[in-house]
Structure 1
Amino acid sequence: MEPVSLTAGAIASLAFAKVFETTIEKFTEKALEKIDRLREKIWNKLRGTKAESALAEVEKGSKVDLDKVALYLQVVMTEEPEFAKEIETLAKEIQQEINIENQKGQNIQNVYGGEAEQNNAIGTNAPVIQGGSGHNITFNQY
């Protein structure tokens, strides 16, 4: 199965997340560095084209112009598959960094056909609790 491709809109949104995201402080330093690299790659590719004025407006916070940038980016991604692959890979790395940071301190429980498995997310020291058939595990939170 081939991995799902990211749209130009999703990539553009990630690249300019620092402009629009109010919770940017929750991003890892690594994710922020990659966001800067992605934004720079997009700027370098679209500089000197009709998209340049839209890019400048996005930097000022224009969501309407973000949609325009996404359209221009889609054209370039279609015409230049190598560039598309490069920025898509970087965008997926950013998403992975963000997902790892968002999972810290959470517990995840999976139940498969009556078998329960408790997994502690990255960054926690809580114990793993497993229950099999015929076992009841009850948690009360006050």
Structure 2
Amino acid sequence: MEPVTTLTAAAIANLAFQKFVEAGAGEMAKKFTTDAIAKIDDLRQKIVARLRGKTEKLDEALVKAEAGDRTVLETISKHLDVVMDDAPEFAAEIRAIAHEITLQQIQDNSSMNQTNYGGTNYQTKTGQDNTNFFGGTHNHGQK
């Protein structure tokens, strides 16, 4: 199977509303390219346009998701799954957009190193943006 056809309604809904349920645009910018963020907005708009007006409960869930409530994503994904089953063209369209977005995710290709000096071991992770994270491990032995 191609990756485009394996994207579930739940994965697509989570991706489409991620901007709202995460801490904010700053977190999105760390994970996705600018083009991907624009495609996420496009994906969300297509989903909302297709689902709006189906039921009052779903309309409330869409409003809550856009307000940052992640608990309603299950409701949205269940309805999206039904719509995707009923409209294969729509399903193919949003799966293709979601697939394009996932291809534009920013990968964390940094490495983690551990250096041992006597009783203290330091672990260092250097990221792409030259951000360094230092953590220490202290071993306590019995006397």
Q: TM-score, normalised by structure 1?
A: 0.68
The Cα of 1:10 is off from its aligned counterpart by 0.3
Matched with 2:44 is: 39
Query: Does the CA-based 8 Å contact 2:36-2:101 persist in structure 1?
Result: yes
Any stretches of 5+ residues in structure 2 without a counterpart? Answer: 112-127, 129-143
Matched with 1:86 is: 93
2:82 and 2:69 map into 1 onto residues whose CA distance is: 20
**Equivalent of 2:78, from 46, 71, 92?**
71
The Cα of 1:39 is off from its aligned counterpart by 0.3
RMSD: 1.7
1:52 and 1:28 map into 2 onto residues whose CA distance is: 30
1:15 and 1:57 map into 2 onto residues whose CA distance is: 14
1:68 and 1:54 map into 2 onto residues whose CA distance is: 7
2:83 and 2:69 map into 1 onto residues whose CA distance is: 21
Q: TM-score, normalised by structure 2?
A: 0.67
Any stretches of 5+ residues in structure 1 without a counterpart? Answer: 108-122, 124-142
1:73 and 1:79 map into 2 onto residues whose CA distance is: 10
Matched with 1:7 is: 8
2:87 and 2:21 map into 1 onto residues whose CA distance is: 27
User: What's the % identity of the aligned pairs?
Assistant: 41
2:35 and 2:22 map into 1 onto residues whose CA distance is: 16
2:82 and 2:89 map into 1 onto residues whose CA distance is: 13
The Cα of 1:25 is off from its aligned counterpart by 2.1
The Cα of 1:106 is off from its aligned counterpart by 4.3
Q: Deviations over 1:33-81 (max 9, x none)?
A: 0000000000110111112211011111222211100000000000001
Runs (4+) off by over 2 Å: none
Instruction: Tell me which moved more, 56-65 or 70-79.
Output: 56-65
**Equivalent of 2:28, from 5, 21, 24?**
24
Q: Deviations over 1:99-136 (max 9, x none)?
A: xx225x547xxxxxxxxxxxxxxx9xxxxxxxxxxxxx
